[in-house]
Structure 1
Amino acid sequence: MKTINALYKNQKVTRSDVLRAEVMLSNVQLSLEQADNDIRISNQRLAVLLDLGDSVQVKPTDSAGMPKPALAGLSSLKGQAQTSSYSIQKAKQNVGTLEARLKGTKSAFMPTLSFYTAYGLNYPNNLFFPPVDQAYSIGFVGLKAQYNISSLYHNKHKVEAGKLHISEAEIQSEAVADNVNQEVKSLLIKYGESLNRITVKEKTIDQSLVNYRIVSTKYFNQLALLTDLLDADNLLTASRFDLITAQTDALTIYYRLLYATGKL
């Protein structure tokens, strides 16, 4: 904007170029204010989720450009997912719980054996008549065996139902394992794609920067219009935004991959 005003004072550009640049600057300033407000609102929500006081301010850092692991180093996660995935572990624990319940149900077929004892101090001695003025103690120990015949009929259906539930849970466990395996493979493919996209976007920024410098030189030498300069600037800005988006997508896929394999 300062450069265009200087060119206008020297009668190198028209008034329309100045007005158009002012409109573009106002739009950029509004976008910047909106972005700052969105960051403040997001920080407030994050502070509520973390149960932080109003005096604590969260200052996010730019993590989009942080180093990302190579795709070859993540291939081992595909085999580890079958043992470390939360979904698979939950499904296996569900099968184990149903098996334990089935053992408890089958125990109704077994006889019950109980051991009991009692001891008491009595006064007066009622073992004689008339009662004798004396205290006496008596105790006993016993072993009781019991078997419920009706369990042969009623418990049979409960056992069959328990076996069906276990079979259903095992099938669901296999389905969960297949879904996790498919999800991990898909995320690995998408992660490799995102890394390639980052490389392409970095080259695009270099090309857009060279194009902007060429158009800028032409404009300031009155060989190009202001619209050409603005288009080149928009192309450079869009290229930088696309690179940040690609970096953020790669990180999102990476953390989803860690969560799917039980590493996060």
Structure 2
Amino acid sequence: MSKKKRLIILCYTALCSLYLYAQPRVMGIEEMFRLADENSESIRIYKTGKEAADEQLKAAKAQRLPDINLSVSASYWGNGRLWDRDFGNATKIEMPHFGNNFALEAQQVIYAGGAINSGIELAELNKLIAELDQQKNRQDIRFLLVGYYLDLYKLKNQGYVLEKNIELTDQVIANMMARREQGTALKNDITRYELQKETLKQQLTQVKDACKILNHQLVTTLHLPRETKIIPDSTLVNIPIQTLSEQQWQDMAGKSNLTLQQTQTGVQINEQKVKQERSERLPQIALVAAEHLDGPITIEVPVLDNNFNYWYVGIGVKYNISSLFKNNRKLKQARLNVRKAQETHRLTIEQVENAVQANYTNLQTAYSDLRTQEKRVELANENYSVTNNRYQNELALLTDMLDASNAKLSADLGLVNARINVIYHYYKMKYITHTL
């Protein structure tokens, strides 16, 4: 195959790939959540944090294992000198010039005042915090995406209405021009509608630009190809919405809200820190064992050029007496941190309760707005039907017909936006309760 043909095939393949990537992609909310779980960089960061917390827990449990130390050394010994107490009568002492040392020591802590167990408990709580952080970040990302998605849906719907209004305005201008040729319309009337058309076109451009921004934010967060054009699922407005009372939402928040679980875990973490500070004031007891092989034997004069082996087992007790008067402030600080964590938890309960109540009220308001918009659509449809009938019988002007069409389009737009608002506040309620 010639280089020219290969180049043509390569270019064709690249163009086809670009075309495929640039194709609109209809995406529902659940699919968007799935892609976020798989691709979101933020979720991946918190997942790594959880893995680090797992290793921290393993390291804390490893403190229960014995400490074993091994040392081996070889050395060159110089000759020694021996003096009287007044440093007189110096005598040279011949030394064996090769020295060796071997030591194997083991220690198993059997009591540390609860420090080891407390450290393990603290690591387990830190692991729980990492898991809660990961879950909360997942909820944050999902709610962020829902906001982008619903805004994009609204803008797409708004763009559709603007395009329809531009088409209707073109019809009005064409009709006005025809009437002007007949001498029944003024140039000012045409200019007014042309100005309206330019205003609508400007609004449509702004809507399309806003759609590009939201689409880019969605694509970036989901780590999709940059050329992907996301189209919201048109069946979104028909999704079933769970109807619950305010108290049921409050109960759900009390069980599922991750911030509440984080602050409660924070209380437990500070309680473990109090235990750790207390353990500093208690003795440590350990089983010890050692094996030594040393040479030469320098405690004799002349020095013995021999290896000396000895071993021992026993119990060691270590007690830091100074902790009795040094650790008081740290212990008091740890207790104050517990109280602060408890107060933070109570404050969080209040904040979550207020957030549930406020958004529940907003959800009810959104339902009320939806009913109003449904009535508005009903009236707009009736007005359109009556005006259309009169127009067909030449009892109404084209402008009356266009006004009725605009009112119908505006009502339809308001109805879709009202449904989107209901869906938004429903998802926000799920976000507040962290059941998204």
Q: TM-score range by the shorter chain?
A: 0.7 to 0.9
The equivalent position to 2:365 in structure 1, one of 193, 210, 218, is 193
1:121 — aligned with what?
293
Q: Percent identity?
A: 24
2:162 — aligned with what?
none
1:77 — aligned with what?
249
Please list, as runs of the form range in 1=range in 2, the aligned pairs for 1:74-223 lying within 5 A after superposition: 76-124=248-296, 130=302, 134-219=306-391, 223=395
**Compared with structure 1, are the counterparts of its residues 45 and 244 closer, same or farther at alpha carbon in structure 2 (3 Å cutoff)?**
same
Work out the number of aligned pairs and report it. 264
RMSD over aligned CA atoms reads: 3.2
Is 1:14 matched up with 2:167? Answer: no
3-state DSSP of counterpart to 2:317:
strand
CA–CA distance in structure 1, aligned partners of residues 184 and 384 of structure 2? 19
Q: Which amino acid aligns with 1:157?
A: R
1:186 offset after TM fit, Å?
Answer: 2.5
The question of whether the paired residues in 2 share the 8 Å contact of 1:95 and 1:170 is answered with: yes
Q: Per-residue CA shift, 1:27-70, capped at 9, x if unaligned?
A: 44443344333323321232222232334443333365132414
Q: Per-residue CA shift, 1:139-178, capped at 9, x if unaligned?
A: 2223222323332222223222222221121122112112
Q: Per-residue CA shift, 1:72-127, capped at 9, x if unaligned?
A: 37853321211210110111011011001000011122122233332122344557
102-111 or 245-254, larger mean C-alpha shift:
245-254
Gaps of 5+ in 1: none
Q: Which amino acid aligns with 2:354?
A: Q
Please list, as runs of the form range in 1=range in 2, the aligned pairs for 1:226-241 lying within 5 A after superposition: 228-241=400-413
CA–CA distance in structure 2, aligned partners of residues 155 and 134 of structure 1? 49
**Compared with structure 1, are the counterparts of its residues 99 and 109 closer, same or farther at alpha carbon in structure 2 (3 Å cutoff)?**
same
TM-score, structure 2 as length reference = 0.53
CA–CA distance in structure 1, aligned partners of residues 331 and 305 of structure 2? 59
1:251 — aligned with what?
423
1:26 offset after TM fit, Å?
Answer: 4.7
3-state DSSP of counterpart to 1:100:
helix
**Compared with structure 1, are the counterparts of its residues 206 and 119 closer, same or farther at alpha carbon in structure 2 (3 Å cutoff)?**
same
The question of whether the paired residues in 2 share the 8 Å contact of 1:71 and 1:191 is answered with: no
Gaps of 5+ in 2: 1-169
Is 1:35 matched up with 2:211? Answer: no
